[in-house]
Amino acid sequence: MKKFLSLVLALVLVLTMVACGEKQPTNDNQNDTPETVELTVFAAASLTESLTAIGEKYMAENQNVKISFNFDSSGKLLTQIKEGAPCDLFISAAPKQMNALDGTLKEDADKNPDGLDMLVAGSRIDLLENKVALAVPEGNPKNIESFDQLADLLKNGEVMLAIGNSDVPVGQYTQKIFAFYGIDEEAVVSKLTYGSNVKEVTTAVSEGTVDCGIIYASDAYSANLTVAATATAEMCGQVIYPAAVLNTSANQEAAAAFLAYLQGAEASAEFEAVLFTPLSK
């Protein structure tokens, strides 16, 4: 009887060891499953529609990646980054805000006044180009057709214009247009309304609370607004959107992969659909 019990116990022990051995590959397979990566992307407000669509496609193709977007004026986003807000990838609506984080410019007090070095070396690119547009509400009540006409109307106090604040790129491009036409902003301030980002300016035009607004061509398209005129580079310079991975990011590899995707054909088509010009082609 004792021998029989010993044989039974030995058989149970062998079967247990075999069962454990069979389960091991399953654990290995589980370890092969990619870990979920959560990316935080800070992007200019004018990219809201296009980047949201692109992000959804990217997450569908890369199900281990979750992307959270923070859309606002580039100036506000820069301030948040400086204050330590977690950000993996930054896309601004002008070089100025990116320059302020670029360590290669830290000796240039005009471009990088705080001497910050917060970009992953070699990750900065010029991603897109946009255009500054003079948009009018439905019906174009003032029959505005050009920046030349706008300048005359503004100087004579005959038009209400929506523009961006001076600390946001669209407002800074507007200031260059004013300088081009010799417009004294303080002298016409009673005929101006201000937005903290380009979306607020666009809304003012869409709702007809102003006669016109200076926004981006992409925002005019997304809001189905009529563009009366487009500013030339001579008026305000090129409207370049730089992008870079932050060296404070805990997900630099994943952020770089998404930035590479933004330069690809599928993302470029999405940008072009709302009148951006991809610069990676």
User: What confidence score (pLDDT) does residue 34 get?
Assistant: 75
User: What confidence score (pLDDT) does residue 281 get?
Assistant: 62
CATH number for the region 132-230 comes to 3.40.190.10
Q: Quote the CA–CA distance of 156 and 190 in Å, as a whole number.
A: 12
What is the SS3 string spanning the chain? Answer: CHHHHHHHHHHHHHHHHHHHHHHHHHHHHHHCCCCCEEEEEEEEHHHHHHHHHHHHHHHHHCCCEEEEEEEECHHHHHHHHHCCCCCCEEECCCHHHHHCCCHHHCCCCCCCCCCCCCECCCCCEEEEEECEEEEECCCCCCCCCCHHHHHHHHHCCCCCEEEECCCCHHHHHHHHHHHHHCCCHHHHHHHEEEECCHHHHHHHHHCCCCCEEEEEHHHHHHCCCEEEEECCHHHHCCEEEEEEEECCCCCHHHHHHHHHHHCCHHHHHHHHHCCCEECCC
Return the amino acid letter for 254: A
Given the candidates 3.40.50.300, 3.40.190.10, 3.20.20.70, 1.20.140.10, the CATH classification of the domain at 37-129+240-278 is: 3.40.190.10
Q: Quote the CA–CA distance of 280 and 69 in Å, as a whole number.
A: 22
Per-residue pLDDT tens over the stretch 108-139: 999 999 999 999 999 999 999 999 999 999 99
User: What confidence score (pLDDT) does residue 31 get?
Assistant: 55
Which residues in the chain show pLDDT less than 70?
A: 1-33, 281
Q: Do the domains 132-230 and 37-129+240-278 match in fold?
A: yes
For the chain, domain boundaries:
37-129+240-278, 132-230
Per-residue pLDDT tens over the stretch 150-183: 999 999 999 999 999 999 999 999 999 999 999 9
User: What confidence score (pLDDT) does residue 12 get?
Assistant: 43
